[in-house]
Amino acid sequence: MLILLPPSEGKTVPRRGKPIEPGSLSFPELADVRERVLASLVDLCLGDPDQAARSLDLGPTQHDLVDLDARLRTSATARVDRVYTGVVYEALGFDSLSPAAKRRANSRLAITSSLFGLLRPNDRIPAYRLSGDTTLPGLGSVAGAWRSALGPAIRQALGRGLLVDLRSGIYTAFWRPTPDLARQVATVRVLHEVKGRRQVVSHFNKTTKGRITRAVLEDGGTPRSPAQLADLLRDLGWKVEEGEPGRHGTRLDVVVDEV
C-alpha cells in the first residue's frame, strides 16, 4: 500500500543540521527534475526580491520567505515529519505514533512536494516556500515540471499494491493515475454533513485525512483494493460511501459531522 499525501504550507525551520544532500533523498530517479526546480527557485530568489515575492505569491512583508528560498542549498535540514507542520500533519501526529506505525509510515507514505517531487517522512529537507500552482522563470509551471516524472516513480513504489490518494486539488495536477492503474487506486474525499447537506470544508478535509492516515498506520492492515480499504475505514469508525470505479480509480467519500 502507498498513501499519497499533500505537503504542508506551514513548516518549521530547522535550527541545526547538515545542508541538503539531494543524493540522499528517496526516489532518486527524480534527481534531475529536483535539481532543475531547485536551481530555478534559488536563482529567482537571489535576484530582485520584489519580483521573487510576486512570482511566489507573497506579500510585501514576506521577503523573509524569499530569503529562505535563496539559502536552500546551505540551510539546515530536518526530517520531513518534523518540517511539515500543517493541519494534516498535526492530525497525523508522527511523534506519538507507535514504533510499528512509524516504521510503516517510512515505507507506506509518499508526500508530494513542489520542490522535491516525492518524499518519505524520514528524508531530510530544509524549510522552503513553493506552492504547487507556482510558475518559475525558465522552468514554467511547477506542476508541469513534475507531471511526466512522478508517474514512473509512483508506479515503482506502488508495485501491485493499493494507492490511497489523499492529495489536495493543486497537487493532483502533478500526476493523475492512468486507466491501467485504476483498479489499484482509491481517491479519498472528505464531506462535512450538516442537516443533510454535504460539502467539502478545508479544515475538516485536512484533519480527517490526517486522522485516517494515522489510524491506517496504527492498524497495520494492508487492503488490496478500494473496497477493502472502505471496509477497513468502516471498521475503524468512519462512515464511508464507495463510488463506482472510474478511469482514474474509485472514489471513497468519508462523511463526517464534526472534527
pLDDT tens for the chain, 259 residues long, are 999 999 998 999 999 999 999 999 999 999 999 999 999 999 999 999 999 999 999 988 899 999 999 999 999 999 999 999 999 999 999 999 999 999 999 999 999 999 999 999 999 999 999 999 999 999 999 999 999 999 999 999 999 999 999 998 899 999 999 999 999 999 999 998 887 788 887 878 999 999 999 999 999 999 999 999 999 999 999 999 999 999 999 999 999 987 6
The C-alpha cell at 14 is: 530547522
Residue 141 structural domain? 2-256
